[in-house]
Amino acid sequence: MRKLALPDEILLQIDKPARYIGGEKNSVMKDKSLIDVRFVMCFPDLYEIGMSHLGIQILYDMFNSFEDTWCERVYSPGTDLDAIMREREIPLFALESQDPVKSFDFLGITLQYEMCYTNILQILDLSKIPFDAGKRTWDDPIVIGGGPCSYNPEPIAKFFDLFYIGEGETRYRELLDLYKKDRAAGVSREEFLHHAGQLPGIYAPSLYNVKYKENGLIESFHPIFDDVPKTVRKEVVEDLSKTYYPTRPVLPFIKATQDRLVLEIMRGCIRGCRFCQAGQLYRPIRERSLEVLKQYAKELIANTGHEEICLSSLSSSDYSHLQELLLFLIDECDANKINISLPSLRIDQFSLDVMNKVQDVKKTSLTFAPEAGTQRLRNVINKGLTEDDILSGSKMAFEGGWNKVKLYFMLGLPTETEEDIKGIGKLCNEIAKVYFDTVPKEKRNGQKIQITASTSFFIPKPFTAFQWAPMNTQEEFREKAYQTRCGILETLNQRSIKYNWHDTDVSVLEGVFARGDRKIAEVIEKAYEKGCIFDAWNETFHYDKWLESFDECGLSIDFYTTRTREDDEVFPWDFIDIGVTKAFLLREWKNALNEKVTANCRAQCQGCGAASYGVGFYCPGGK
């Protein structure tokens, strides 16, 4: 039996000790003496959050399929254990072997959202790995980042030896082979990083130099060696049906946030919403074949005994075999007493039929994401959903017995006016009207229509058409949320409408990190020293400490958030090539300002640049 890193005394006094013991079913144990490379994969948040993430499961499965490699996991210790580990100087350990993180060859950190940046420092700190990558030695693991936030790695570049840009399935084998070769040859850490930085998809921040202009903008960004590429091109899996898939996922003992099997059906999105980063990052669109998905579903069910399965993609309604897949799953799940958790589907007769079969109509709600209150603004953001789609979809659903509707909107979108904001209340009111017109009183069974409108604040992200856009100030955001509320209260059916919104502080920081440059690292370090950690969690978020940190570093938040960027500004992330070109995004930015809609990939190729990978499902020349 494995020996745990923490004594019983500690485990019996902390919240959810199961987070720290490993040993879950399907977790992988290997004989250390037969292993060349030890990799520990980190999701810098609590175990329950990290265990819900498919990406890590895919890479865990891939690494452990390599005979010479053992991949383990580590998550952020909760604040209770954090305090004890600091007090007693217990080093952070990996779950499987319970060995210190510092003893590993690689520490991989997935960057799923910006607000986890201080947690990265917690991980390094508790592992006793220097924050500054330049100060590390071969006694420290190679710290490598990946995931969506690595598409602008600059704010945290200082803390990482390497970043893997793109989909992890393609180049890790080469990186591990290079590592084995270089270690055997006895090269220095710097030299290894220099070699690694020449591999496709690998970005080694220490190999690049940034020069800033007096106004703080980037003057130049270039490699310091001639043999290091000027741009790093995103890695893409060519055939999703012929790659790794974790059909034997690790089963957490405690309930993970997403406690279900995940079937990833495709990557990429045809829609081209102008605010959406994922929609650009994961282009070109690639689908998994129906046959492969059926096989995966069967294996997942057999290998885990899970009670629920869900589909994962950016827009499941656009999967070309969705109907066949869902019908197959309904049969398979019915036979195995498994629930299907449906993704948000475009509401039509088919999806309502499916929902009716797998969900309790009384309990579930319809979900729409119009994102903006008027057609004008929806054209600006290129969101194809029309008011007619929403109203006719709602009508169909009300006839089918539904009476709960959830709507998601964004506030602070470019060109937004008071009319757009009032439009949110108006749209909700129209839906309520459809309900009262469609369902006669005697058929309502005492039920009422419940509409929930939620707004989030728009944050411009790199690699979107809106990367040039100014973000709203906090005052503007608060005023807009207030206007939204007033707009709803003015409507006839306001009693049927509930409005949710969140505070703005976190959004401001997210805005800074999203489009930040290398100068931001100092602020993150400072805030961490002041005690900032778990910034994504309300109870541990301290905005005042962040403001102090910006002040002390002499950096302006507005420079990163509310400033309008010129068309030809050099962005910190420009050295990354995701296929989609800056020229295309700029064209889209202009189209947005002209309220001009761009057709989706299926309807017509827009020449975004992703076709250069040669594998896009709808791309000219794609497979």
Enumerate binding residues for other proteins (CB under 8 A).
Answer: 1-2, 4, 7-9, 11-12, 17-18, 21-25, 251, 253-255, 302-307, 336-337, 339, 360
Q: How far is the CB of 567 from other proteins (least distance, A)?
A: 54
Q: Rounded to the nearest whole angstrom, what is the least distance from the CB of residue 199 to other proteins in the complex?
A: 37
- Please give the DSSP secondary-structure letter assigned to residue 89: T
Give Cβ neighbours of residue 336 (< 8 Å, ≥ 6 apart).
301
Residues 6+ apart with CB under 8 A from 385: 368, 369, 370, 371, 378
Closer residue to other proteins in complex, CB, 302/599: 302
Residue 28: name the closest of 7, 2, 49 by CA.
2
Q: How many angstroms separate the CA atoms of 4 and 20, rounded?
A: 9
Nearer to other proteins, 6 or 390 (CB): 6
Q: Alpha-carbon distance 99 to 40, whole Å?
A: 10
Nearest alpha carbon to residue 113 among 162, 78, 77, 155: 155
CA dist., res. 39 & res. 101, Å (int): 9
Give whichever of 202 and 300 is closer to other proteins, judged by the CB atom: 300
Question: Which backbone phi and psi does 447 adopt, to 5 degrees?
Answer: -85, 155
| Nearest residue (CB) to other proteins, 16 versus 395 | 16
The encoded tokens of residue 595 equal 């309220």
Least separation, in Å, of the C-beta of 367 and other proteins? 19
Task: Report cis status (omega within 30 of 0) of the bond before 460.
Answer: no
The nearer residue to other proteins, 352 or 601, going by C-beta atoms, is: 352
- Least distance (Å) between residue 395 CB and other proteins: 25
Diameter over CA atoms, the chain: 82
C-beta separation of 69 from 176 below 8 A: yes
Q: Is the dihedral of CA 303, 308, 313, 315 positive or negative?
A: positive
* Residue 34 beta carbon to other proteins: minimum distance, rounded to whole angstroms: 19
Based on CB atoms, which residue is closest to other proteins, 49 or 611? 49
**Rounded least distance, CB 84 to other proteins, Å:** 13
Q: Which is nearer to other proteins, 99 or 505 (CB)?
A: 99
Closest approach, Cβ 46 to other proteins, in A, equals: 16
The neighbouring-strand residues paired with 451 are 405, 497
How many residues are given for the chain?
A: 623
The dihedral sign for the CA sequence 468, 385, 258, 279? negative
In angstroms, give the least distance from the CB of 17 to other proteins. 4
State in angstroms the smallest separation of the CB of 412 from other proteins.
39
User: Which lies closer to other proteins via its Cβ, residue 304 or residue 375?
Assistant: 304
Q: Is 163 helix (H, G, I), strand (E, B) or coil?
A: strand
Within 10 angstroms of residue 185's Cβ, the number of other Cβ atoms is 9
Q: How far is CA 336 from the centre of its chain?
A: 31
- Quote the least distance from Cβ 81 to other proteins, whole Å: 13
Beta carbons within 10 angstroms of residue 601's beta carbon: 24
Name the phi and psi angles at 370, rounded to 5: -70, -25
Q: Are 202 and 196 in contact (CB under 8 A)?
A: yes
Instruction: Name which of 31 and 442 has its Cβ closer to other proteins.
Output: 31
Contact 378, 372 (CB under 8 A): yes
Cβ 484 to other proteins shortest distance, Å: 35
Question: Looking at beta carbons only, is 60 or 179 nearer to other proteins?
Answer: 60
User: 426: which strand partners?
Assistant: none
For residue 455, list its beta bridge partners.
409, 501
Distance CA 314, CA 85 (A): 39
CB of 231 to other proteins, least distance (A): 46
Q: How far apart are CB 21 and other proteins at their closest, in Å?
A: 4
Nearer to other proteins, 8 or 475 (CB): 8
67 or 307: CB nearest other proteins: 307
Q: Given the complex with other proteins, which of 6 and 434 has the nearer CB atom?
A: 6
Residue 608 CB neighbour total at 10 angstroms? 24
SS3 466: helix
